[in-house]
Amino acid sequence: MRWLSAVLLLVACAPVRVPFDAPELYRVGRFEPDGRFVWSATRFSLRFDGSGKVRAVFRQLTNPASDEGPAQPLRMRFVLDGAPKDVFADERGLIEFEAVAPPGRHRFTMLRQSEALIGEARLVELELPPGAKLEPWQPQRLFEFVGDSITVGFGDEGKDPCPFSSKTQAITAAWPWLVGEALGADIRVVGWSGRGVIRNWRDREGPTVPDLWAPAEPRPDAVFIALGANDWWNGDPGPKFLAAYLSFVERVQRAYPGVPIVSVTTGPRAQVLRTAAALQLIEVGEIPGGGCVGHPDSQAQRRLADDVIAKLCADAKGGSCRGASAP
């Protein structure tokens, strides 16, 4: 029976493998049936009790050049017990993370920092220490953000002048993440740099953001739409913009009945949207640059988030909503 003891010992020493669709693995975002994902802020989180090596491997499945520049390596953030580490895809397209967890209970999150145009990805492997016991993750309410380059954090970690790069783009420094963090909400993003409502930056070919958007489960608790900057790339796009914008809002309302939809806007497009009485508007101040290619840097993103939060909280009962129930 020595062979049986040896087999049992090997089993006891084997890492705990967590599949993509494990019920204990809390997922936020949009996923294909085979686990592929592409959008900023796509997230996997879990809790476990145990000690030993934690290992996660993602693969960047596509690596296209884009209108913003040459192909870029995907950037993921790994957070074990509050300690963040960002890792980029290597020449094989692999993003690998390893760490050692001390005895006790742990929280582990894996988050996509890069926007959709960087390419598709998939979780390949997730291993926890031998004997680790998975525990349920406590979900928060969910905010969905639909937008363009500012929403996905284009160049928010860079200092102008600098080109587009996944090394200077972090959703965790962009206003949607900061709003969700302040108000106790998970975030789900559909955003693409250079895309608009009826036309794209410099009239680039390709789908607009409404073309890219589709409803997803679970239903969000609120939707924030921040679009129009690219439609105004060389001036007022004309009356078709408002008609298309309202049509998109109505489509989101039909998909998520009863869910508040907030339009975040500024500048000339705010004047146009203000004429639509049905819209719930948050008008923010001028958004400064400072980041790559004239985009807002992390400080400007923080100010934008604070502006949105202040206006949401001003409308909330009691005048305060941080971590509470706004919008």
Answer whether residue 202 shows pLDDT above 70.
yes
pLDDT of residue 323: 55
- Calculate ∠ Cα 10-15-17, nearest 5°: 125
Q: Extract the tokens encoding 71.
A: 């192909």
Range of the domain at 301: 141-319
User: From residue 5, how far is each of 11, 15, 25, 247 by CA, in Å?
Assistant: 10, 18, 32, 67
> In terms of domains, do 152 and 106 share one?
no
φ, ψ of residue 308 in degrees (nearest 5):
-65, -45
Tell me the β-bridge partners of 110: 44, 78
Answer whether residue 236 shows pLDDT above 70.
yes
pLDDT of residue 4: 47
Answer whether residue 318 shows pLDDT above 70.
no
User: Could you tell me which residue, 208 or 317, shows the higher pLDDT?
Assistant: 208
Number of domains the chain contains: 2
Domain stop point among 110, 135, 160: 135
Residue 4 located in a structural domain: no
Residues 147 and 266: their CA atoms lie apart, in Å, by 13
Using an 8 Å Cβ cutoff, are 112 and 60 in contact?
no
Residue 2 located in a structural domain: no
Task: Report which DSSP code applies to 253.
Answer: H
pLDDT of residue 321: 66
Answer whether residue 317 shows pLDDT above 80.
no
> In terms of domains, do 125 and 151 share one?
no
> In terms of domains, do 151 and 45 share one?
no
pLDDT for 100-154, tens place per residue? 999 999 999 999 999 999 999 999 999 999 999 999 999 999 999 999 999 999 9
Answer whether residue 13 shows pLDDT above 80.
no
CATH of the domain at 98: 2.60.120.260
Tell me the β-bridge partners of 87: 76
Answer whether residue 327 shows pLDDT above 50.
no
Mean pLDDT of the chain: 93
Question: What percentage of the chain has pLDDT greater than the value 90?
Answer: 91
Answer whether residue 179 shows pLDDT above 90.
yes
- Mean pLDDT of the region 49-54: 98
| Count of other CB atoms within 10 angstroms of residue 238 | 11
Say if residue 139 is exposed, middle or buried (CB neighbours under 10 Å; 0-12, 13-18, 19+).
Answer: exposed
> In terms of domains, do 241 and 101 share one?
no
Domain stop point among 135, 167, 195: 135
Answer whether residue 180 shows pLDDT above 70.
yes
> In terms of domains, do 109 and 252 share one?
no
Domain stop point among 74, 102, 135: 135
User: Would you give the distance in Å from CA 42 to the centre of its chain?
Assistant: 5
